[in-house]
Amino acid sequence: MSADLSLDLCGLRLAHPVLNGSGTFDAIAARRAFGDAVAERFPFSAYVSKTITPEPRAGNPPPRLFETPAGMINSIGLPNKGLDGFLLEDLPALAELSVPLIVSVMAPSRDGFAHLVEGVGGRDDVAAIELNVSCPNVESGLIVGEQPTETHALLQAVRSLTAKQLIVKLTPNCGDPAAVARAAEEGGADAVSLINTLRATARDPVGLQPWLGAGGGGLSGPAIRPIALDQVRRVAEAVSIPVIGMGGIESGAHAIEFLSSGATAIAVGTANFRDPSAGERIVSELADELLARGMEGRPGAIAGSTST
C-alpha cells in the first residue's frame, strides 16, 4: 500500500479508512479458521465488535439467512455472551489485535445502555463505543434510531458516563435519517455510522410460509448500496461530526463513492462473507484509486473536493 491513507476519526488515529461493519467479521472465530494470519494481516484499521447486550442472548431460531438479488437477509438476533461474558472471554482476545477496538452495544432501555457504556467504557482495551440504536426502547415502545427525540435522550443518558468516543449506528428504516443524526450530534455523539440493514422478509419459495425463523430480518449487500449512498450524503450534509459510511461496499471504487459523498471512513460488511480478505483487497484498491486520482493523503479530503 503506497499511498498514505491514514486519518483521524473523531480522535481515533487510523491507518486507513476501511473498518468492518459490526457483526460481519468475527475476529475470534476467523482465527479458528485462518490462524494467526488474521491478526498479522488484519484487514481493518479498527475492529468493530458484534453488538453485545447486557444479558447473554442465544439468537433467533433458524433459518437465519436468505439470499436475495445482489444481497441477503439476515435474522441473526444478536447472539452474544452478554456484557460480563464479553469482558471476561472476548475482550482479552480482541485486545490482541493490533488495531483500535470499537465495541458495539445495544440495550432495551436507557439504563441498559448506561450499564453497557460504563462497563465497556471502563476498559483501557476499548477505544470507542458504537451505540446500535436499531432497537425498541421498552419505555416508549419506539425504535430509538427512528426517533430524533429518543436518540437525543439516549445520548444525554450515556454521554456523561464515558470519555471515550461514542459512535451512533443509524437505522435506514425511517423517513429522515439526517434528523436523527443531528439529534445524535446535539446529544454529544462523536461520530455516526450508517447504514444498518433495511427491514425485509422472505417466503419459502416452495411452502410460501415465512422463510426466516424470526419472521423477518434485515437486507444487506450491493442491492442496498444506492440507498446507503443517498443516506450517507444526506447525513454528511446535516452534521459536522464524521460519518462512517457502509452498505454494499465491495470494492475500492465503491469506497471512493462513499468518501466522495461525505463519509470520513467506510465499513465493509456482507462483502466479508464472500471473501474473508475482502477488506484487504478494498484497502489496496482504494490506495491505487487515490494515487491514480492524485488524491493520496487524507482521503477525507475527497469529500470536500467533490461532494455536493
Ligand X SMILES: Cc1cc2nc3c(=O)[nH]c(=O)nc-3n(C[C@H](O)[C@H](O)[C@H](O)COP(=O)(O)OP(=O)(O)OC[C@H]3O[C@@H](n4cnc5c(N)ncnc54)[C@H](O)[C@@H]3O)c2cc1C
Residues at the site binding another protein, with contacts judged by CB under 8 A: 23-26, 28-30, 32-35, 37-38, 41, 50, 58-65, 67-72, 74, 76, 79, 206, 211, 213, 221-223, 250, 270, 272-277, 280
Distances from the Cα of 64 to the Cα of 27, 31, 73, 287, angstroms: 21, 23, 8, 35
Q: Which is nearer to a copy of itself, 48 or 263 (CB)?
A: 263
The active-site residue, picked from 7, 107, 135, 180, is 135
Side-by-side strand order, sheet with 243-246: 18-20, 265-268, 243-246, 191-194, 165-169, 128-132, 101-105, 47-48
β-strand pairing of 165-169 with 191-194: parallel
Count of residues near ligand X by CB under 6 A = 4
Mask for 189-208, x = binds ligand X (CB under 6 A): ----------------x---
Cell of 136: 425498541
Candidates 45, 104, 151, 231: give the one binding ligand FMN (CB under 6 A): 104
> Do residues 287 and 3 lie in contact, with contact meaning Cβ atoms separated by under 8 Å?
yes
Q: Does 67 bind ligand X (CB under 6 A)?
A: yes
Decide if 135 is catalytic.
Answer: yes
Q: Which residue, 231, 234, 264, is CA-closest to 247?
A: 231
Contact set with a copy of itself (CB under 8 A): 66, 68-71, 73, 143, 146, 173-175, 198-203, 205, 207-210, 215-216, 219, 221-227, 229-231, 233, 248, 253, 256-257, 260-261, 302, 306, 308
State the nearest-atom distance from the C-beta of 210 to ligand X, in Å: 13
Nearer Cβ to ligand X, position 136 or 276? 276
Q: How far is the CB of 261 from ligand X (least distance, A)?
A: 16
Three-state SS at 36: coil
Task: Give 208's contacts (C-beta < 8 A, 6+ positions apart).
Answer: none
Angstrom distance (rounded) from CA 242 to CA 191? 5
Q: CA torsion sign, 32 to 37 to 40 to 41? A: negative
Cell readout for 290 is 487515490
Question: Which of 144, 254, 270, 299 is in the footprint of ligand FMN by CB under 6 A?
Answer: 270
Q: Measured between alpha carbons, how far is 282 from 268 in angstroms, rounded to an integer?
A: 9
Find the shortest distance in angstroms from Cβ 66 to ligand X.
4
Question: Least distance from C-beta 302 to another protein, angstroms?
Answer: 22
Please state the closest distance from residue 64 (CB atom) to another protein, in A.
5
Place of cell 468492518: 20
Shortest Å distance, C-beta 209 to a copy of itself: 6
Give which of 269, 254, 150, 167 is closest to 218, Cα–Cα: 269
Of 118, 116, 150, 120, the residue nearest 134 (C-alpha): 150
Task: Supply φ then ψ for residue 55, to 5 degrees.
Answer: -105, 155
Residue 226's binding partner out of ligand X, another protein, a copy of itself, none, with CB under 5 to 8 Å set by partner kind? a copy of itself
Q: What does 30 interact with, of ligand X, ligand FMN, a copy of itself, none (CB < 5 to 8 A by kind)?
A: none
Q: Binding to ligand X by residue 96, rule CB under 6 A?
A: no
Query: Which residues form the interface with ligand X (CB under 6 A)?
Result: 65-67, 205
Residues lying near ligand FMN in the complex (CB under 6 A): 21-24, 50-51, 74, 76, 78, 104, 132, 169, 195-197, 220-221, 224, 246-249, 268-271
Query: Which residues does the annotation mark as catalytic?
Result: 135
